[in-house]
Amino acid sequence: MLDSGVGGLSVLLALRRLRPDLDVLYLADSSHAPYGERSLSQVAEITHRNVGYLLAEGATVIALACNTASAAALHDLRRTHPAVPFVGMEPAVKPARSLTRSGVIGVLATDATFQGELFASVVGRFAEDVEIVARACSGWSDLVESGSIDGSKAERAVARHLDPVLEHGVDTLVLGCTHYPFLAPLIAKRAGAQTVIVDPAPAVARQIARTARLRGTGVVRFVASKDPAHVESIGQQLTGWPLSVAAMV
């Protein structure tokens, strides 16, 4: 499992509830975070390199628990490694369309995610009869990476990006970055009880569980490409697990 940092833990939490037997190697590529502020070509190059590391470590299924990495590299990775099952992230516009009453859906993601062909493809396939309000939420991933998921600073950052989206009359919000579920309580509070929030992590976890047929022993290893002690501290805060994060070598 690969993410630019701790955001992918939202997918791992959902996966552990479904398949606690799976052996997982989680790579937090903190030396290149945040991905969402890089060009897609940069993210693609980084992601290919990190997938090579995971394969060398014995991975048999690769989960890109990062919307930006998926937008940048998922299709090419499948072409490059046709024998390897890849599970990626895409903005959950399809389920949101079935939930909206107003016909106006807000998609919250990184700028790079919106640039990719993957987002355009999802909108083209599933959003013909609804209005999509897309918002690049700069700074949200950084909040999660620093563990600032509540308090006045986080509330102001959420309001800065969320309020302009709500003004369009959205009644359904898609969390298009794996970091954002950790801000979901603040998003829900600001948006109000009438607004449905769609977190794709459980659906992606179900796809990983279906793809990873071999049973394991339930061992989860964590590695970070930079400052493993920080990743360990924030990861423990977000998951409640006693994590041990090693340096990527």
Angle at which helices 9-18 and 228-239 cross, to 10°: 50
% of residues, the chain, pLDDT over 70 = 100
d(C-alpha 249, C-alpha 246), whole Å:
9
Show the domains of the chain with their CATH numbers: 2-89+202-247 (3.40.50.1860), 93-200 (3.40.50.1860)
Read off the pTM.
0.96
CB 48 within 8 A of CB 20: no
Residue 213 pLDDT? 86
Q: Is the pLDDT of residue 116 over 90?
A: no
CA torsion sign for 34, 36, 42, 46 is positive
Q: What are phi and psi of 196, to 5 degrees?
A: -90, 135
Q: Both tokens of residue 214?
A: 């071999």
Residue 242: CB partners within 8 Å, gap ≥ 6?
236
Please give the pLDDT value at position 63: 98
The answer to whether the beta carbons of residues 245 and 222 sit under 8 Å apart is yes
Average pLDDT, the chain: 96
Kindly report, residue by residue over 149-176, the tens digit of the pLDDT: 999 999 999 999 999 999 999 999 999 9
Q: Which of 24, 11, 22 is nearest to 58 (CA)?
A: 24
Q: Is the pLDDT at 246 greater than 90, yes or no?
A: yes
Active-site amino acid positions: 66, 177
Segment 15-29, tens digit of pLDDT: 999 999 999 999 999
Between 213 and 45, name the one with better pLDDT: 45
The confidence score (pLDDT) of residue 245 equals 98
